[in-house]
Structure 1
Amino acid sequence: MLTVIPDLLDARAVAQVRALIDAAQWVDGNITSGHQSALAKRNLQLPEDAPEAQQAGQIVLEALGRSPLFIAAALPLKIFPPLFNSYAGGQAFGTHVDNAVRIQQGSGFRLRSDLSITVFLEEAEAYEGGELTVETNFGVQRVKLPAGHAVLYPSSSLHRVEPVTSGRRVASFFWIQSMVRDDGARQMLFDLDSSIQALAVDRGHDDAQVIRLTSVYHNLLRRWSDA
């Protein structure tokens, strides 16, 4: 499933992140590419170990921890430290699929990439092109969101970043290992959780049917999770 997370970062947080990363030294984006990606990728990126990237990444991670929508949709077990990229002057990232396993440079930290996330850090009207294009079971979806908004999608999806023909596209990107590796199972759990929350608003959390459905949710999560 593809899930948009509005206002993951508020305007103040976006400004804090941009102040950090705009002052940093950007390098060729292929420093984190696999073989397939390197053939298609033309952008700039902050090194993983750049202090500015680490400080900005912490702001993003703290925002994720405060987002009920992200938690419900991703059911995160591990989160790769946020990375940052930039596209301008016709740069693009051709159609590719993300590596199945991501390893943090200089550490033993690794995760299975179940979900990919892009957090937009530039207003959509400030640049031309740069849409994130994701091939889903429901057709091709093109995503270009306001600064601070994020989109979550399966890492197994073929996707690309369209050429940026004017202005500059700046974003954070990284991966999540979910407690539930199967995308279809995560979708069912997310739909069930959303229905439970809506029903609880009408009937109250102590309603017998709300309690019953909550029990079903947790028993399915217990059956399907790797945690």
Structure 2
Amino acid sequence: MFLHLKNILTPEEVRSARSLLGHDAPWVDGRTSAGDQAVAAKRNEQLAQDSTQAQQLRALVLAALHRDALFFSAALPHKIFNPLFNRYSGESNFYGNHVDGAVLRSRHPDQWVRSDISCTLFLADPADYDGGELLIKEPQGERAVKLPAGDMVLYPSSTVHQVAPVTRGARIASFFWVQSMVRSTEQRQLLFDMDMDLLRLRSTIGDHADPVVGLTGTYHNLLRMWADA
């Protein structure tokens, strides 16, 4: 599943996040969190996880996710890796092709998270930097993603992807992973498609029409069959 979620953060929340990530933010070498495969390809900066700014930003992002119904429908989250924050600029300006680790250790809370879904929440306006596209390899070709500040992209963690070099300005984003209640990408996609169709059907014929009740039951029975909560 590939999904662009709009306005995860409000404009005011984006401004607050960028203020916290300003000139006095404790940026460190992003390679400190990279696995064996990724460390040679990774050239960026990352906000120190134990900093005051990281704590406030984690709370901001998680609150935004918890209020977003579309995120819940698409991801069906069981666990969320604590949101991290990175910056690409200057000589620390790219992240070559890699695949995210399958199981990752989250610090806040301290838990292992299986990476079913990778998430990038953009915090810099696209006009503020050149390059920096998230490039995701798909069977039909490479998809380039560069979204407005406050928007987020979801994509399977099993895909090969990279961040193109930033040649002007700074690309700032939050990134994290989701362990879904439904491990299978195909099953999650079917459930999401059904949920979206049910929303459209409810708006047309109402919540209590027999087809809506029946299809809602089918949705939940499939979720009950596939979910590991």
Matched, 1:134 2:143: no
Partner of residue 13, structure 1: 13
TM normalised by structure 2 equals 0.96
For the residue of structure 1 that corresponds to 2:37, the secondary structure is: helix
Letter in 2 for 1:40: A
Q: C-alpha separation between the residues in 2 aligned to 1:213 and 1:96?
A: 40
Partner of residue 210, structure 1: 212
TM normalised by structure 1 equals 0.97
Stretches of structure 2 that go unaligned for 5 or more consecutive residues are none
Q: CA RMSD in A?
A: 1.2
Q: CA deviation at 1:155?
A: 0.6
Give deviations 1:179-205, integer Å, cap 9, x for gaps. 001101000000010001100000001
Give deviations 1:41-100, integer Å, cap 9, x for gaps. 000001221221111111011001111110110000000111000001251000100000
Q: CA deviation at 1:134?
A: 0.7
Stretches of structure 1 that go unaligned for 5 or more consecutive residues are none
Paired residues for 1:14-53 under 5 Å: 14-22=14-22, 23-53=24-54
Q: C-alpha separation between the residues in 1 aligned to 2:48 and 2:157?
A: 21
Q: 1:159 aligns with which of 155, 158, 161?
A: 161
Q: C-alpha separation between the residues in 1 aligned to 2:100 and 2:109?
A: 20
Paired residues for 1:96-115 under 5 Å: 96-105=98-107, 108-115=110-117
Q: C-alpha separation between the residues in 1 aligned to 2:69 and 2:108?
A: 32
Please list every run of at least 4 consecutive aligned residues from structure 1 whose deviation after the TM superposition is greater than 6 angstroms: none
Q: C-alpha separation between the residues in 1 aligned to 2:214 and 2:175?
A: 38
Equivalent pairs: percent with the same residue?
48
Paired residue total: 227
Partner of residue 149, structure 2: 147
Give deviations 1:12-64, integer Å, cap 9, x for gaps. 00111111122311000012110111010000001221221111111011001
More displaced, 200-209 or 22-31? 22-31
Partner of residue 65, structure 2: 64
Report if aligned partners of 2:82, 2:107 keep a CA contact under 8 Å in 1: no
